[in-house]
Structure 1
Amino acid sequence: MSSSQHPVALALERRVGGATRLLATVMLLPLLDGVFAAVVLAGGLASVTGIIEVGLLVFGGSATLAVILAEMEGSPREVVTPILAVGAIVIIGSVVVAALAPTIQTVLDPAVFERFAAIIILAIAGRTASAKIGDWLPRPSMILLIGFVASVNASGFSLVVQTDPELMLRAAAAAGVGVAFALAAAVGAPWLRNAVDIDRFRFGSAVALGVLPISILTSVEAPVSLAVLAVTTLLSLDPQRARERDEHYEPDAVDVTAAFADGGASQGVDHDTTDASSRPTVDDDDDRAPWL
């Protein structure tokens, strides 16, 4: 399987460096850029299905999987320890966001803000699918700020400080699902590294994240995102390779994603020179046409 050039993970890696720091940045990013806050305020944690979807797609997802499989080295036991440390911070952060959400919600128009929350999720899905698309999309934090301004209920403005313990538990559960996903990936990493097509999983995760707003904006209770994610997992997994434990992860010399993006120039593929031995030879003494 080829190594993944995940656009989100690559952009963060250039800034922070280090596998554990990169994983922490990837998993904490939904708390920092306002994505998780938007989901909480839009009612994305109202059901068990929503909790699982948010945990897998927001805190888990392809970026977390790419970091664990491609960047984190060592045995599963060695990798689990930093994941647990990062997971504890993620869970605490999600509880803090959920604790502030009811107070913020008292000054917002839910119907208006839900639409902006859907736009934020779609923007994240676009940035996950392609780095080029992400360059054209605004940052989720900017969309969140515009959403706050547009959905403030100016007529009945009254800030009421309140907390919702049940919502805080739901937020912790969603973060816990994401941490469990990361732990499962770490434990299965020796088998998954060469058995999972990360790029295919990334595109499928982007689609699953893109349909997540359906459950927020509509009354559809079917787990559409989970169904898409399940199909994505099946299509990106090679069971034959998963049966063999791979101690040494050696990705392909030519990265498929980058090669398709620029025709292979960044991978050292020269289209102007060809191997003479690969050219077909024609015997002049043979009366047959060369294509026969």
Structure 2
Amino acid sequence: MSAATHPVAGRLESLVGGDAKLLATVMGLPLVDGIFPALVLAGALDGPLDIVQVGLLVFGGSATVAVVLAEMEGSHREIVTTVAAVGVGLVALATVEATLAPTIESVLDIHTFERAAALVVLAVAAKTASARVGEYLPRPAVVVGLGLLVSLDLSNPQLEVVLDPQLVAAAAAAAAVGAGFALGIAVAGPHLRRRMDVDRFRFGSAVALGLLALSILGLEVGTAPLAVVGVAALFALEPGCADDRPDQSAGDSTPHADAAD
């Protein structure tokens, strides 16, 4: 499946050009649309497992997999270098946003905003699962904006930047998890292109995102999102097809060939 057939990556592919730009847009979209700041403010990075879940699902989702495996051209080393460079920028931007989060939180009713954050994640899950469903849903940035508006509380504002080192470290770690996942996909790209059905992984990622939204709302889902991602990855692998498919690695005459027709 190429990025063009992925509900999220396909829309972005028509707006940006170049492998690095497309990957940076896909992985950086949660920072721009407000998804990641919303999760930071909603307390979604409270523990190590939460950090891993957010990093994998928000930054290293199926759209990232589709771009790295199906759309990036060049030699294996060039692809790995590009993914690594994008990952460094991702971690830096996530750190900056987490630095500003406590200041933003001081003017919000955080309990109200958590509901908006959950709605954003549910919307992303629906868009990931189905392009048609996504057409009827508002953009995540719109939901985040409305959430900020209805959550606004100016009773005790703190207009100076208040640094929370633990929160900043957690945000950087989550971005690093997503960047590391993308780098791992790039390193294993020549093998995964012959063995992975990205469509199956996409639907599993959508289910995991839905579970993450439920956890933000306070429901006890434990490590279910991570488990779903792991199961989806296992079901997406097709080891028996490895010898039947040509190695459509980047740089071949068909650089945009789908990894799973």
TM-score for both structures, normalised by structure 1: 0.82
- 1:188-235: CA deviations, max 9, x gaps? 111101211111111111111111022222262611100111111111
- On the 8 A contact 2:60/2:179 being kept in 1, the answer is yes
Partner of 1:109: 109
CA distance in 2 between counterparts of 1:136 and 1:33 reads 17
Partner of 2:124: 124
CA distance in 1 between counterparts of 2:143 and 2:192 reads 36
- On the 8 A contact 1:38/1:117 being kept in 2, the answer is yes
CA distance in 1 between counterparts of 2:43 and 2:6 reads 29
CA distance in 2 between counterparts of 1:32 and 1:222 reads 28
- 1:125-166: CA deviations, max 9, x gaps? 111111111110001111111101111124x24234312011
- 1:48-107: CA deviations, max 9, x gaps? 111001110101110000000001123332211111111111001000110000001011
CA distance in 2 between counterparts of 1:248 and 1:198 reads 15
Superposition map of 1:94-173 within 5 A:
94-154=94-154, 156-161=155-160, 162-173=162-173
CA distance in 2 between counterparts of 1:186 and 1:242 reads 17
- For this pair of structures, how many residues does the alignment match? 252
- 1:270-290: CA deviations, max 9, x gaps? xxxxxxxxxxxxxxxxxxxxx
Partner of 2:50: 50
Distance 1:79 1:139, change over 3 A: same
**Is the radius of gyration larger for structure 1 or structure 2?**
1
CA distance in 1 between counterparts of 2:96 and 2:224 reads 28
| SS at 1:193 equivalent | helix
Partner of 1:79: 79
Partner of 1:189: 189
Unaligned runs of 5+ in 1: 257-292
Q: Percent identity?
A: 52
**Mapped pair 1:11 → 2:14:** no
Partner of 1:209: 209
CA distance in 2 between counterparts of 1:172 and 1:221 reads 24
TM-score for both structures, normalised by structure 2: 0.91
CA distance in 2 between counterparts of 1:120 and 1:238 reads 32
CA distance in 2 between counterparts of 1:3 and 1:159 reads 46
RMSD: 1.9
